[in-house]
Every structure is written in C-alpha cells, then in structure tokens.
Amino acid sequence: MALPVITPDTHEDQDLDRPWQVVVWNDPVNTMTYVVYVFRKLFGFNEMKATELMLQVHHDGRAIVSDGPREKTELECYRLHSHGLWATMEKV
C-alpha cells in the first residue's frame, strides 16, 4: 500500500518570506516641498519620481514608497519618522 503523500503546510513560511512595504500617509502639516526633499534624500528618487509620490500621498491619502525585507523596511520607517513623516509597515 502506498504511503499517503503529506504536503507540508508552507503557508506560515511563505507568510514570513513575503516582503513588506512602507506606506507614507498624508498629514495636514508637512509641506509639499519638504516631503519631496525627504523622498529624494532618503530613497535617491529623482525630482519627478519624488513629486509623483508626494502628490499620490496628497491626493490619495497614502503612497507606497518602498518594499523589501522586514529589516530594511523597518529601518526606512525609522528614517521617515526621524524626518517627521508618518510611515507604516504593511505586508505586500
């Protein structure tokens, strides 16, 4: 009799491996120029890309500015917070 095939449940592993994304939220105080500057400085975006993301934050209320492993994105959150932007972590 053939042994039953047991398929390992890899759901949890896959969950841990899923990359994270950094979301920046709109707020009524930070100025547009300042947000563009922070995006350019922290992520190396050119002016057009940084402006596009800033406008997405402004109009849509949020924008994903980065993704990757948890350690990297948590550090990016830290740098955004140190510049006064509200950044959160989300699973992709």
Partner 1 sequence: MLPASQPRPVGDDGEGLKPRFRRKGDSIIVNLPAEERGVLAQVLDLLADVERVEDDPAYRRLKVPVYLDDAEANEEWWRLMGDELDQSRAHDRAVYRGLMETNDRVVLSDAEGDAVLRVLNEGRLAFAARLKLEVEEDHDQLPEADRAALDFLGWILEDLTVVLMQAL
Interface ranges with partner 1 (CB under 8 A): 26-37, 40-41, 54, 57-58, 74, 77-78, 81-84, 86-90
**Which positions ≥6 away from 42 have C-beta within 8 Å?**
76, 79, 80, 83
Residue 88 CB, nearest distance to partner 1 (Å)?
Answer: 5
Nearer to partner 1, 13 or 84 (CB): 84
Residue 9 CB, nearest distance to partner 1 (Å)?
Answer: 22
